[in-house]
Amino acid sequence: MKHRLSQPDISPEDVEAVTQVLKSPNLALGPKLGAFEKAFAAYVGAKYAVAVNSGTSALHLAVRALGIGPGYEVITTPFSFVASANCMLYERAAPKFVDIDPVSLNIDPSKMKAAITARTKAILPVHIFGLPADMKPIKELARRYNLAVVEDACEAIGATYEGRKVGTFGDAAAFAFYPNKQMTTGEGGVLVTDDAKVAELAFSMRNQGRGPSGTWLDHVRLGYNYRMDEMSAALGLSQLSRINKTLERRGQVARWYGEALADMRGVKALPEVAGATRSWFVYVVVIDDGARRADIMERLEIAGIECRAYFPPIHLQPFYRELFGYKEGDFPVCEDVAGRTIALPFHNALTRAQVEEIVSELARAMA
């Protein structure tokens, strides 16, 4: 493939950081883990950070630590990666989907009140494609109905809402570091919170339910092997040390795309939203004619341009149709947008010339 959809940015310093761990006797639960957690909490502006093996694990621990269990419902968006809804199912709670705003593509706060029932326990907004959800009305609704808030910030490290970093608006938040993210630890994620009890439970549950004494065979609650290893933590520390430069670089690539796409008919780039600063995770365009998307994507692939339909609606995944009986038309805004999105190659190493080449191939594919 001439242009990959994504690729991690691994520096010589990253390689050296991991190599040094491999030369040490500590490959798990060592000093790098604690150092990464401390550095990440400071970057986000949270009191506690609990590093785990994936963003999905961070979401699951947040749900469990907040007591979201059988019979409860959590209001969330159907336009996301499936993990943001699956994390409720792990605890036998249920996602309660609310349609999205057609501009921001985030959950629409104006539609959330109608979804609240006696079983509603929490709201889980997703900062989709790195754009913060509209947290002010979400927080107001949560206060009014005594609901917890879990931010899915897995795509949004460094994004801000009204001048404040995402991950600091809820009772807990999850970040993820898969190789296609802004920064990577290989596999990995982090739960952040200002709640000491949530942090205590998350630290325990990620480590097989062990107690604070640290005794290896002392298990005080049900837990999981969600630990982040030392190599991943070392890579995370190295990547985090240059996160601002990384985000600036990705912003520049996004601006090149915006300029190249400015005069193209039939396609729209993701918009800016007042009061929010996007952290560029992927570069998604929305075409006018969804019926042509498969043909356009096939032409791009033939031209060596890797692309993907981002995201298919969660409620129309086979598993969710079977479990809950969802069907086409249940969330029309989400379904319309999801049928017209295309993710184009996007990563730190792209040059302006490469971006212009990709956009030229897109124009040809759409002709």
8-23: per-residue pLDDT in tens?
A: 999 999 999 999 999 9
Residues of the chain with pLDDT under 50: none
Residues found in the chain: 367
Domains of the chain, earliest start first: 12-240 (3.40.640.10), 243-366 (3.90.1150.10)
Predicted confidence at residue 257, as pLDDT, reads 98
Cα separation of 308 and 303, whole Å? Answer: 14
Q: What are phi and psi of 74, to 5 degrees?
A: -130, 125
- pLDDT tens digit string along 13-55? 999 999 999 999 999 999 999 999 999 999 999 999 999 999 9
Q: What is the pLDDT of residue 216?
A: 85
Give the pLDDT score at 100: 98
From residue 341, how far is each of 41, 135, 334 by CA, in Å? 33, 24, 11
Cα angle 155, 157, 162 (rounded to 5 degrees) comes to 105
DSSP 208-235: TTB-TT--TT-B-S---B-BPBHHHHHH
Tell me the per-residue pLDDT of 246-258, one tens digit each, with 9 for 90 and over: 999 999 999 999 9
CB neighbours of residue 64 within 10 Å: 22
Structure tokens at 269: 């780039």
Provide the pLDDT for residue 207.
96
CB-CB contact of 230 with 246 (8 Å): no
Please report the pLDDT score of residue 290 as a whole number. Answer: 97
Q: Is the pTM of this model over 0.75?
A: yes
Instruction: Give the whole-angstrom CA distance, residue 40 versus residue 34.
Output: 10
Peptide bond into 311 cis (omega under 30): yes
